[in-house]
Amino acid sequence: MAGPCSIAVHPVPHCPSCRQRRLDSAAVTEDLLRLARWLEAQPWNRPGSDKTWVLRTHWSGFLFSRELRRAVRVAVR
């Protein structure tokens, strides 16, 4: 049966959707994981590095997006 399926939980052996997803994933994964390991090994990712700026950037980006959405809503009224 080719019903809803998930690679992680119960891949269905003959489900075309599962097979396609496996192929898509493999294409992304091998290259991406190699790059991920490269990124992890960079000096700025040494354990103990201060990442306060990441949360500050996240928040300022969030505030900017919210203000932008508000401004667009006002503009279209």
Return the HEC string of 10-26. CCCCCCHHHHHHHHHHH
* Binds other proteins by CB under 8 A, chosen from 1, 23, 55, 74: 55
Q: Which is nearer to other proteins, 13 or 43 (CB)?
A: 43
d(CA 59, CA 41): 26
- The dihedral sign for the CA sequence 27, 29, 30, 31: positive
Smallest distance, other proteins to C-beta of residue 60, A: 4
d(CA 19, CA 25): 10
Residue 2 touching other proteins (CB under 8 A): no
Residue 66 touching other proteins (CB under 8 A): yes
Interface ranges with other proteins (CB under 8 A): 6-9, 21, 24-25, 28-29, 31-33, 35-40, 42, 44-45, 47-63, 65-66
